[in-house]
Amino acid sequence: MKPVRRSLVAALAAAPFAGVAGRVRAQDFPTKPVRILVGFAAGGVADITARAVAQKLSERLKQSFLVENRPSAGGILAAEAVAKAAPDGYTLLLNSNGNAVSVSLFKSLPYDPVADFEMVSTLGTFGLVVLASPESRIASVRDLIARAKAEPGKLNVGTIGIGSTQNLAAELFKSMAGIEATVVPFKGTPEVVTALRANDVQVGFEILAPVIGQLKGGALRPLAVTTARRFEGLPDVPTVAESGVPGYDVASWNGIAAPARTPPAVIERLNREIVAVLALPEIRERFLELGVVPRPSTPADHRALLVAEIAKWRDVIVRAKIEKQ
């Protein structure tokens, strides 16, 4: 037998066994600790949800799932590290709508947020809330719109930094409600709250988690949540859509992704385990305390969400004329 033909026959004979070996490795996964890289500082919603899920995955799969915080603008450092990691399932990314926003917020990225990753599952969605001080005459979104139209350009809306989900949610609200208002960016949530109480801004847009205690205690007044459905932790607070801005829907979200070319069987195993973890009553309770709704998905649905969010926020950033960083 000629050498070339002999090599081809040997390769074909070995192929079925290689496939079996791949399946065995996927079934045995994980055989060593798994890292989840989070592009935000410790203590925030992304970090807490990642750690809650990691703990349960560790218990179920008998291997450590370790959360590593690599905070940076747009979560770029964490995403780049995962994109360049070995595609074996042992380095994962906590991705979020921040990764979708970054596509249009930065002049360039050192990775492709869609092509360089395999999506595993979303973890949860968490809405924002439109806020006012308890003393404000603005008691609803309709009041807000009416005042803005009566006094064009005189209303101030507080958010955290330019390009944040909160900031872009306010810009989208202005566009969809047809109002003129000034969106004022602050360094953090405490500054937004202080400005509300001093009437330097008349309303604010903020993620639920850092203000939910003040909402329930009456220190801040919720006008509406930004999601398509009401948040079950605040059932009496209407949505923006049902308060006069049909179709308005803004939610932050996070999920898990792996490097591109991670074996499908490993992705399927991770997805199956994450779906099981998110169904646990203690995880659901912990998430709801943070204003997060557990929301597992298929890998395909997670990818579709990311693609849709990239397009959505690109339009908002262009309309708001936000300069790329």
- 26 band by pLDDT with thresholds 50, 70 and 90: low
**Class of the CATH domain delimited by 127-243:** alpha beta
Do residues 184 and 156 make contact, with C-beta atoms less than 8 angstroms apart? yes
Spatial separation of the C-alpha atoms in residues 325 and 314, rounded to whole Å: 14
Spatial separation of the C-alpha atoms in residues 268 and 30, rounded to whole Å: 13
Among candidate residues 275, 269, 266, 263, the one with its CA nearest the CA of residue 301 = 275
The pair of structure tokens assigned to 96 is 């979020």
Q: Please, which residues have CB within 8 angstroms of residue 59's CB and are 6 or more apart in sequence?
A: none
Indicate whether 20 pLDDT > 70: no
Predicted local confidence at residue 25, as pLDDT: 57
H/E stretch holding 317: helix 299-320
CATH number of 32-125+252-320: 3.40.190.150
Give the tens place of pLDDT for each residue, 143-171.
999 999 999 989 999 999 888 899 999 99
Spatial separation of the C-alpha atoms in residues 132 and 205, rounded to whole Å: 9
| Intrachain domains 32-125+252-320 and 127-243 with the same fold | yes
Spatial separation of the C-alpha atoms in residues 8 and 76, rounded to whole Å: 44
Instruction: Tell me which amino acid residue 322 is.
Output: I
Tell me the pTM: 0.83
β-bridge mates for residue 94, sequence order? 38, 256
Among candidate residues 305, 303, 309, the one with its CA nearest the CA of residue 258 = 303
Do residues 48 and 268 make contact, with C-beta atoms less than 8 angstroms apart? no
In the chain, what are the domain boundaries?
Answer: 32-125+252-320, 127-243
Mean pLDDT of 210-219: 91
- 238 band by pLDDT with thresholds 50, 70 and 90: very high
Predicted local confidence at residue 173, as pLDDT: 96
Instruction: Tell me which amino acid residue 320 is.
Output: A
List phi, psi (to 5°) of 47.
-65, -45
Do residues 23 and 16 make contact, with C-beta atoms less than 8 angstroms apart? no
The DSSP code sequence of 172-201 is: HHHHHHT---EEEEESSHHHHHHHHHTTSS
